Amino acid sequence: MNDTSVAKIGELIKSAETIVIVQADNPDGDSIGSALALELILDSLGKNPHLYCAVDIPSYLRYMSGWDRIEAELPNQFDLSIIVDTSTPTLLEKVKEKGDLQKLTKKPNIVLDHHASVEQEIEFATVTINDTSVSSTGELIFNLSRQLDWPLSPDAGENLMTSILGDTQGLSNDLASAQTYRVMAELVELGVHRPKLEEKRRLYNKMPENIFRFKGQLIDRTSFELEGRLAIVRITQQEINNYSPLYNPAPLIQADMLQVEGVAVTVVLKTYDDGRITGSIRSNNGYPVASKLAASLGGGGHPYAAGFKTTDNRTFDTIRAKILEISQELLSSLQSERVD
Ligand SMILES: [Mn+2]
């Protein structure tokens, strides 16, 4: 994080009153935790924060208090916007469709992110911090709050902890650095109670019986390719309609796919009637190929967690074949690196 950008962020916020906090089209634990923490911080700085997300907040994230303050409309007037957890315009398509992106470009804008592979930057941003050394946007905001002397209440701390735990899968993946643990320790000192947070999340993540049975169907349909190194499953529009409002289908199955012996990479594909296909990619430790695989389909992300979306009407079979081909290449080049 360079000092000039940090100072600039401090100034932009100081001179603004109404500030819109924008989540991209793929709200996850980090995105919502960062947004809610920023809202509390800005509020205590005497600002008038406004939470915005163009898509519905998935139900599995609704255990977070404050989620219901997130609106799909921009306020009539605002002075500044802050985009959290994305630095690519491809994840702001819904914002654009609603005509809101145009409005954002007319005012100063701050982008706070931590994603390594970005194929295209948000051009209208006044300041961008894309810090790949932190686990999550939540950790980035914690660092900013220390540097800029922002007040951090236990509630804001709880949101930041949710961000960190979300992106590090409970401090279990490579994104959790020594520094991340230090930040976690400081959050605990601030008064955040992790067991309570965990309990809240678990309670909310309980599934209805039909979701449990749907999980069985997905397990049944998962196919194992490339000698068992790639696990892939498809979710149809009908299933998205039936089950997505109740439970996010990819997290329902993907962790279990990764637990199958021999599996290196997993892909959960959602196919929509309008031709769109989205893919959630997760890979096991030692196989940092997720972002590269996503990039080959126009997406991006982290080495172990990435995603993509196609809108050019390529068929499911075409996308599937491409995934097999690229995964094969990426995995065999990993193997040859090791031999060398
Ligand atoms: Mn993130």
Determine the pLDDT at residue 298: 92
Give the 3-state secondary structure of the chain: CCHHHHHHHHHHHHCCCEEEEEECCCCCHHHHHHHHHHHHHHHHCCCEEEEEECCCCCHHHCCCCCHHHCECCCCCCCCEEEEECCCCHHHHHHHHHCCHHHHHHCCCEEEEECCCCCCCCCCCCCEEEECCCCCCHHHHHHHHHHHCCCCCCHHHHHHHHHHHHHHCCCCCCCCCCHHHHHHHHHHHHHCCCHHHHHHHHHHHCCCCHHHHHHHHHHHHHCEEECCCCEEEEEECHHHHHHHCCCCCHHHHHHHHHHCCCCCCEEEEEEECCCCCEEEEEEECCCCCCHHHHHHCCCCEECCCEEEEEECCCCCHHHHHHHHHHHHHHHHHHHHHHHHC
pLDDT at 251 over 60: yes
pLDDT at 126: 96
Q: Per residue in 8-67, pLDDT tens?
A: 999 999 999 999 999 998 898 999 999 999 999 999 999 999 999 999 998 778 889 999
pLDDT exceeds cutoff 80 at 340: no
How far is ligand 1, taken at its centre, from the CA of residue 340, in Å? 34
**33 CA from centroid of ligand 1 (Å):** 10
Which CATH code is given to the segment(s) 209-339? Answer: 3.10.310.30
Asked whether the CA dihedral 175, 180, 185, 187 is positive or negative, the reply is negative
Order across the sheet with 48-53: list the strands: 48-53, 18-23, 80-84, 109-113, 127-130
Ligand 1: centre distance to CA 273 (Å): 29
Q: How many whole angstroms from 136 Cα to the centroid of ligand 1?
A: 5
Which sequence spans correspond to the domains of the chain?
3-202, 209-339
Average pLDDT over residues 104-118: 89
Distance CA(32)–CA(38), nearest Å, equals 10
Q: Tell me whether the CATH fold assigned to 3-202 matches the one assigned to 209-339.
A: no
Instruction: Please give the distance, rounded to the nearest whole angstrom, from the Cα atom of residue 336 to the centre of ligand 1.
Output: 31
Q: How many whole angstroms from 135 Cα to the centroid of ligand 1? A: 7
- 139 C-alpha to ligand 1 centroid (Å): 9
Average pLDDT on 247-253 reads 88
CA of 114 to the centre of ligand 1 (A): 7
Q: What pLDDT, on the 0 to 100 scale, is given for residue 60?
A: 78
Q: Which CATH number fits domain 3-202: 3.30.930.10, 3.40.50.1980, 3.90.1640.10, 3.30.230.70?
A: 3.90.1640.10
Q: How confident is the model at residue 119 (pLDDT cuts 50, 70, 90)?
A: low
- C-alpha to C-alpha distance for 50 and 72, rounded to whole angstroms: 11
How far is the centre of ligand 1, averaged over its atoms, from the C-alpha of 168 (Å)? Answer: 9
| Mean per-residue pLDDT of the chain | 93
- pLDDT score recorded for residue 247: 83
Percent of the chain exceeding pLDDT 90 equals 77
Ramachandran bin of 243, using left for φ above 0, alpha for ψ from -120 to 50, beta for the remaining angles: alpha
Cα of 261 from ligand 1 centre, angstroms: 28
Q: State pLDDT tens for residues 289-318.
A: 999 999 999 998 888 889 999 999 999 999
Give the CA dihedral 333, 334, 336, 337, nearest 10 degrees.
Answer: 120
Give the residue-averaged pLDDT of 240-250: 87
**What pLDDT does residue 2 have?**
84
By the CB criterion, residues less than 5 angstroms from ion ligand 1 are: 30, 85, 136, 167
Distance 78 CA to ligand 1 centre (A): 25
Distances (CA, A) of 234 to 159, 193, 225, 248: 32, 38, 14, 14
Condensed to tens digits (0 to 9), the pLDDT of residues 149-201 reads 999 999 999 999 999 999 898 898 889 999 999 999 999 999 999 999 988 87
d(CA 167, CA 71): 23
pLDDT band for position 339 (50/70/90)?
low
Q: What percent of the chain has pLDDT over 70?
A: 98
**Do 148 and 9 form a contact (C-beta atoms < 8 A)?**
yes
pLDDT of residue 117: 65
